[in-house]
Amino acid sequence: MDIQRIVLRRISLPLRSPFQTHQGELHERSVIIVEVSDHQGLKGYGEVSAFSTPFYTAETIETAWHMLRDIILPHLNTRDIQHPADFVRMTSFIQGNQMVKAGLEGAIWDLYAKQNKVSLAELIGGTRAYVKAGAVLSLSDCTKNDINRLKQSGYERYKLKVEKGKERDKINQVQTIDPDLAIMIDANGMYREEDIDHLTALDDLGLLMIEQPFEPGDFYLHRQAQQQMSTPICLDESIMSLHDARQAIELGSCQIVNIKISRVGGMTAALNIHDYCQNNGVPVWCGGMVETGIAKAHNLALASLPNFTIPGDLSSSDRYFYKDVLKEPIEVIDGKIRVPTENGIGVNVDDSYLEKATSQSYVWQPG
Ligand code: OSB
Ligand code: MG
């Protein structure tokens, strides 16, 4: 592939309101935007969606910056990249660091699609023109106003962050505002072995699913719980690779898989997990990372694949941000988001706004 230059940018966008979970609170969103350009001036964009602290996965923005600048870029031989999957093989010597790999691989996928004059969705075998949107209500947003604003856009599914012991209250509170909302809860691994009976007792609520009840790594406990519960378990943090997805499904630790491009180490891994789940009759949905329109555009391409049958954490640009890094924000209309058909990720990045949001940048050129 023709790759002339790679630019890394640390950016920070203020959030409209804090995103609160039992693990902490986000007030602004800092990510690394990766831009890979060729000699014709085509640009591919990717996003490293690590957080400032390692509350969700072990990576942080700071470790990601180090991995890119000091480990991955100095080893990168662009002449050996004919296809984005070659980049995956070249970086397979690096353990973990999924979000870093995913961000750079994403920029390479976007550039590859643009060089081949095809949309990313079409390139990876997407079949949907629109994907179903889903809203996430953090602990701090659950008022009538929050829900009515989301309802106006027609979100089809509501995911609630909950606190242990207060699940029923929170769910009832939301159902009083609208009894017809399809609801699931995300535990982010907060339950312990002794909570299995407590979780089973929530079966009567008819939740769509419960996401990541126990700590990542514990396929055994998820299996024990799933055998007792009728509510489907969906795994998020536990699934960092195709191997994890296979173990979870073979062991019966979940019935549904959340795929995040960043958490699984990139689009190539995401596609493999999608295919594996599809072949095993396990539906998937696309997770979110309170990320910018660049990552959202990658998500839309992924979610256009046939086994993404459940609405994901796919929301509009203005759900979390006053202003996104795109010239035209991503919009939810009648509960759906259009999958871009333009080349690559199919969105126009607002370069001057990106520049304004940048606190540090680094430019790399092949030696
Ligand atoms: O567990 O899915 C999660 C946000 C940050 C870290 C982890 C998670 C989340 C979300 C928000 O649930 C998803 C979104 O709307 O982007
Ligand atoms: Mg989750």
Stretch 340-346: mean pLDDT, rounded?
Answer: 98
Q: Where in the chain are the domains?
A: 5-117+349-364, 122-338
pLDDT per position as a tens digit, 112-129 = 999 999 999 999 999 999
Q: Which CATH superfamily is 122-338 part of?
A: Enolase-like C-terminal domain (3.20.20.120)
Tokens representing residue 36 in the block: 């890979």
What percent of the chain lies above the pLDDT cut of 70?
A: 100
Instruction: Give the pLDDT of residue 254.
Output: 98
* 159 C-alpha to ligand 1 centroid (Å): 10
**Which CATH code, of 1.20.1250.20, 2.60.40.10, 3.40.630.30, 3.30.390.10, is assigned to 5-117+349-364?**
3.30.390.10
Closest atom of ligand 1 relative to the 260 alpha carbon: 2
Q: Is the pLDDT of residue 142 over 70?
A: no
Residue 242's pLDDT is 98
The 3 state secondary structure assigned to 260-328 is: CHHHHCCHHHHHHHHHHHHHCCCCEEECCCCCCHHHHHHHHHHHCCCCCCCCCCCCCHHHCECCCCECC
Query: Ligand 1 site: residues with CB under 6 angstroms?
Result: 56, 136, 186, 188, 236, 287-290, 313, 315
For position 160, what pLDDT does the model report?
95
What's the chain's average pLDDT? 96
Ligand 1 centroid to 56 CA: how many Å? 9
Checking if the pLDDT of 181 tops 90, the result is no
The catalytic residue positions are: 161, 260
Distance 74 CA to ligand 1 centre (A): 32
Average the pLDDT over 53-81 and give the result: 96
* 333's tokens: 């209309």
Three-state DSSP class for residue 366: coil
Q: Which of the four pLDDT bands, split at 50, 70 and 90, describes residue 243?
A: very high
CA atoms lying within 13 Å on the CB side of residue 13: 26
- Residue 131 has a pLDDT of 98
CA distances from 130 to 36, 135, 246, 292, 333 (A): 27, 16, 28, 19, 10
- Substitution candidate for ligand 1 out of 60, 290, 319 with most atoms within 8 A of CB: 290
Structure tokens at 246: 């296979």
Nearest Cα residue to atom 13 of ligand 1 = 288
Q: How far is CA 224 from CA 178, 209, 235, in A?
A: 33, 16, 14
pLDDT digit string, tens, across residues 269-314: 999 999 999 999 999 999 999 999 999 999 999 999 999 999 999 9
Q: Per-residue pLDDT tens for 303-333?
A: 999 999 999 999 999 999 999 999 999 999 9
**Backbone dihedral region for residue 318 (phi beyond 0: left; psi -120 to 50: alpha; all else: beta):** alpha
Taking only the tens place, the pLDDT of each residue in 200-211 is 999 999 999 999
**Rounded CA gap, 44 and 95, in Å?**
25
What residue's CA is closest to ligand 1, atom 6? 289
Give the closest residue (by CA) to ligand 1 atom 5.
Answer: 289
Q: Is the pLDDT of residue 21 over 90?
A: no
